[in-house]
Structure 1
C-alpha cells in the first residue's frame, strides 16, 4: 500500500495528512457499509423467498405421486442450471464464494467489473442456492461488499492510497452483515483478506462493519444469527472433549480442503460443455436427493439452527455429515455463485455433536442435550479454523453468531488444536489455495472495465 507520509514530512504535516486521510475514509466507509448492509439484507430476503418456493415445489411434487421426483429434478435443474449459466456467460469472476477473487484484486492487481459482478452474483446466487445447492450466502455477500467498495472507488475517484482500504472495508462489512457479526467482519479483513492491521484500515473497516450491522439489525432485529438456547457452563474436567473435537475438526478440515480442490479439478472438464450444462446436470442430481431428503438442500443455516436445538444420535449426525459433504463438493464444483462458510460451520457442528453423542455413555457428561449444543458450537469454530486458518475470526464469528461467550475457553482450545493439526499435515488454507488457482488463469476483466479506465485503479 502506498505510504501515507513523505520522507521529509514534519510532525505537523504528517498529522495533517493523517487527518485528511481519515476524512476521506469516513466519507466513503459510511456509504460502503450502508450499501453492503443493504445488499446483504436484500440477498438474504431473496434467498428466504427462493427457499420458500423450493419447499412449496417439493410439497407439490410429492402430491403428484410416483412421478413427482421428475418434477423435483426438473425444477432444481432449471434453477441451478440458469444460475450457473449466468455466471459462466456474463461474469466468470462471480463463481464460487468470491473471497479468493477479492484477494486477487487486493494483492495481485486483478481488475473487477463491480456493477456486473454485483448483478450476476446476486441473481446467480439466488437461483443456485435457492435451487438447492448446498452453498452459503456469506462468501457471496463478502464479494458483493467488496464490489460495492470498488464501485465507489471508481465513481468517486478515490485517492490511490485509499482504494484497497475501501474495497477491504466493503468486504468486511459484507461479512458483518451476513452474520450480524461486526467484530468478526473486522478480524476477517485483518487475518484473511489484508494480512495486517494499519490505523487507516482499522478506522475504515470499523466504520463500515458497524454501519452494515446497524442496517441488518434494523431489518432483522437484535437477535444473534442463530437463535439457540443458552448452553450450561462447562466444568473444567469436561474440557478434554474440546481437545478431541479440535483433533477431529482438524482432520476434517484437511479432508475438506483437499477434496474440494480435487473436485474442482475433476469437474473442470465441464467447462468444455455448453454453458450452464454442468449446472443442469448437478441440479437434476440435487433435485433427486432433495426428493428423498429435502432438509439437506440449500445453504444449511436452518439445518444448523435445528441441529443446535435438538438431540440426535451420532449415527444420524455422521450420515448427515457424509451426505452434506458430498453435496457441497459437487455444488462448489459447478462454479455457481455460492460460498462455503455455512457448509463448513455445519460440518463442525455435526462433528461436535457426533463426538459427544458417541462418548457420552463412557464419560461423566452432564445433560446430553446441553453437551451436544456446546459441542456443536465448539465444533463450528474449530472446523472454520482448520479450513480457513483464521483462528481469531473463527472463534469470534461463532461467539457472535450464537451468543455463546461462556464457551470461549473450550472454543479456543479446540480451534488451537484444529489449527495445529491442519498445519502439521502441511495443508494449504482453502482461500489461499483457491486464490492460487485463480491466479493460474487469465484475468477475465483485464480489458473490460465497467467504468472509464483509471490509472490509479488497484
Structure 2
C-alpha cells in the first residue's frame, strides 16, 4: 500500500473509531485462532523431540562408544543447519521478543513469512537438541508475524498493523504458557507500552482465543504443578522482603550475564563454531547433568516435590545459569524467558533451604518461596512487575497469593533500579540496533505514518497547550482522543494525562515523540 493511501485510510479509521475498534476485535479473534494453531504445533513438536532426546541419551549410556560419536556428528550437522537458517533470516535468531518490540516501535521491519517458518523449524531443532532455551520468545514472535501476515494479506494500515502485532504477541505468550491474562499484560506493559482500549480489546481477543485453542490440545492444567499452595503467614513477610532483595540482585547478575556473554563468544571465529560449541556442551551435559537441558519446566516441578540437598541445588543453579548463557549467546532461535524462571526458582530453593536450616522457615512453606522467587526474578530482569505477578499466578495456579507476589515483585524491581540494571529486552533491542549500525534510524521503515502516543502524568506535554509544545520537525498532530470524545487539535487545545494523540510523522522520530509523551 502506498504511503498516501496509508495515511488516508488511517484518517478514515480515526474518524470511524467505534467501527475501527470492532474490526480490530474481530481480527484479534482470527489472529488468536491462527496463532493458537501454530504455537500448539510448536509445543507438540518440542514435546516430541524432547521426549525422544531423553530416549537417545538413555540409549547412548547403555551402548557402544561409536553411537556416541555418531550423536556428536549429528549435533554438528544440526549446528550447520541452524547456522544456515540464521544466515538466511537473521531476525529469526535469539529470543524474538526484542525484534517484536522493535517492530511495534517502528525500528525494525520483519519479513513475516520467512521468520515464521525459520523460527518454527530452528526453534524445534535447537531446543530439541538440548539447548537451555524456552518456547515463549519464539512463540511471541510467531504470534506477531502471524498477525503481520494477516495484516499484509488484508492490506491494513501501519497504525492498524502495530495493534495487530501486539495482539499476535499476546496470543503467542498466552498459548505458550496457557496464561491468557499474562499474555495480554505482557504485550501491553512491555511491548506496546500503553493500555488504550483500542489495543486492549484485540489483544484480549487474541489471547483468549489462542488459549482456548491451546487448551483444546493440551488441557487445562497449569504449566507448573503447585496445586494447593498454602497461605504464607504474615510473620514471614519480612523474610519475603529480604528474599526478594537477594533474588532481585540475582536478576541483575542474570541480566549482566546475558549482556556480556557476547564477549566470551568473540573467542570463536565464526557463528557456526559458536553453535557447535553450545551444542557439544549440551551433548556432554546430556550424559552428566541432563536436568539442565531444555527449557526446564519439569525441573521446577521436581525441586518443588523432591527433596534436594543444598549442594545439589547449588550445582543445578550454577549449571542452569552457565548453560543458559552459553545457549542464548550462540544466537540460536529460542528464548530465555522459561530458563529465567527456572533460575529464579532454583535461587529461591537454595535460599529456602538455608532458611529452613537456620530455623527461619517452616518446611511446609518451602514451595511458597520457590513461587515468590520466580515472580521476583522476573520483575528484576524484565522490569515488568504486573506481568510477573499475573504470569506466576497463572502458571502455578496460585491466584490467592497476589499480595505476597506483589510485595516480592516490587522489592525486586526496586533492587534492580538501585543497581541501575536496565530492562533486559529494551537493552537487547538497543544493542542489536547499535551493533548493526541501525541506531541512526536506517533500520526503520522511513515512512510517514500515524502513530499513537499516550500522554502520561508529569510528562513535558501534560497540561500544556498544543501551540506551546516544541514538536519535532515534519510532525503533524492529527487527532486527540480523550475517553470517548474526539478533540480538534488546534493550538489552544490543552493536553491532559490520559489523552491519546495520533501524530503523523516519520518513523525515525517515533522514539523522541514517545519520550515527550511518557516523560522519559
Normalising by structure 1, report the TM-score: 0.90
> Following the alignment from structure 1 to structure 2, what is the Cα–Cα distance between the partners of residues 377 and 64?
40
Q: CA deviation at 1:69?
A: 4.8
1:242-262 deviation line (CA, Å, top 9, x unaligned): 212211211111111111111
1:44-63 map, 5 Å:
44-63=43-62
1:164 aligns with 2:154: no
Give the match for residue 311 of structure 1: 307
Give the secondary-structure state (helix, strand or coil) at the position aligned to 1:426: coil
Map of 1:428 onto structure 2: 422
Cα distance, 1:227 vs. partner? 2.5
**Aligned mate of 1:359, from 355, 361, 365:** 355
Instruction: Describe how 1:11-22 pairs up with structure 2 within 5 A.
Output: 17-22=16-21
Is it true that 1:413 corresponds to 2:407 in the alignment?
A: yes
Deviation at 1:241, TM superposition (A): 2.7
Describe the superposition over 1:331-357 as per-residue Cα deviations: whole angstroms up to 9, x where unpaired: 001100000111110011111111111
CA deviations on 1:141-178 (whole Å, 9 max, x unpaired) are 00111111111111111134311000110001100111
Q: Does 1:344 align with 2:340?
A: yes
Structure 1 residue 81, shift from structure 2 partner: 4.4
SS in 1 for 2:241: helix
Distance 1:395 1:231 in 2: 16
Output the CA distance in 2 between the equivalents of 1:411 and 1:221.
Answer: 26
Residue 32 (1) aligns with residue 31 (2): yes
Give 1:314 shift.
2.5
> Displacement of 1:240 after TM fit?
2.4
User: What is the aligned partner in structure 1 of residue 366 from structure 2?
Assistant: 372
Alignment CA distance shift 1:334-1:364 (3 Å): closer
Answer whether contact 2:227 2:397 (CA < 8 A) is retained.
no
Pairing 1:181–2:170 present: no
Structure 1 counterpart SS, 2:305:
coil
Q: What are the ranges of 5 or more consecutive residues in structure 2 without an aligned counterpart?
A: 1-5, 451-506, 508-520
Q: Which has the higher strand share?
A: 2
Taking a change above 3 Å as real, the CA distance of residues 417 and 2 of structure 1, as seen in their structure-2 partners, is farther
SS in 2 for 1:189: helix
**Contact 1:137–1:339 (Cα < 8 Å) also in 2:** yes
TM-score, with structure 2 as normaliser? 0.80
Q: Contact 1:387 / 1:430 at 8 angstroms: preserved in 2? A: yes
Alpha-carbon distance in 2 for matches of 1:455, 1:420: 38
Q: Which has the higher helix share?
A: 1
1:75-224 equivalences under 5 Å are: 75-87=74-86, 89-224=87-222
CA contact (8 A) 1:183 1:397 kept: yes
Gaps of 5+ in 1: none
List per-residue Cα deviations over 1:167-201 (Å, max 9, x = no partner): 11000110011111111011101110011111100
How many Å separate the matches in 2 of 1:292 and 1:68?
17
2:69 pairs with 1:73:
no
Q: Deviations over 1:420-445 (max 9, x none)?
A: 110000011100110001211157xx
Which shows bigger deviation, 197-206 or 289-298?
289-298
